[in-house]
């Protein structure tokens, strides 16, 4: 009896919050898409900056990942407005992973990453 009661309560909570979240989904239509894409790009830049703080790690692989995040973050920051325009032109869905995919594709098209990483490693980050 107690188990059925708990299941009923949990089910009711999901129904209530599910209906509330469904109502919020329509609110995104009233917001300017450039603001939403800008928030996605800013979030991506923040993640890159967080990874870039590990440049002083004792592990070579962690330093290498931090170096890659530094390059990505610098590219995203310097090209933020053009990236937002690109995302709007492509009509990318408002999904974090889809936006990150398109940002990574744009980075790969614009920057020859192997040359940048090789240069940075040669300058001493890999020591």
pLDDT recorded at residue 125 = 52
Q: Which DSSP category does 31 fall into?
A: S
pLDDT recorded at residue 4 = 56
Which of 35, 67, 33 lies closest to 51 in space, CA to CA? 67
Q: What's phi and psi for 33, nearest 5 deg? A: -60, -30
Q: How does pLDDT run across 78-119, given as a tens digit for each residue?
A: 999 999 999 999 999 999 999 999 999 998 888 776 666 666
CA atoms 15, 31, 75, 114: torsion sign: positive
Cβ-proximal residues to 98 (8 Å cutoff; 6+ apart), any chain: 92
pLDDT recorded at residue 42 = 94
Confidence of residue 67 (pLDDT cuts 50, 70, 90): confident
CA dihedral of 11, 12, 14, 19, whole degrees rounded to 10? 140
Q: Full-prediction pTM beyond 0.75?
A: no
Residue ranges covered by each domain of the chain: 1-29, 31-125
What count of other Cβ atoms lies within 10 Å of the Cβ of residue 1?
Answer: 4
């Amino acid at each position: 009896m107690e188990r059925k009661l708990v299941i009923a309560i949990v089910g009711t909570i999901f129904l209530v919050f599910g209906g509330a979240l469904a109502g919020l989904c329509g609110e995104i239509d009233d917001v300017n898409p450039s603001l939403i894409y800008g928030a996605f790009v800013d979030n991506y830049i923040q993640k890159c900056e967080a990874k870039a703080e590990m440049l002083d790690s004792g592990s070579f692989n962690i330093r290498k990942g931090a170096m890659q995040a530094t390059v990505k973050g610098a590219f995203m920051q310097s090209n933020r407005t053009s990236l937002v325009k690109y995302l709007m032109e492509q009509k990318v869905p408002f999904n974090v992973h889809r936006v990150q995919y398109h940002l990574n594709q744009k980075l790969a098209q614009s920057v020859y990453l192997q040359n940048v990483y090789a240069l940075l490693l040669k300058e001493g980050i890999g020591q």
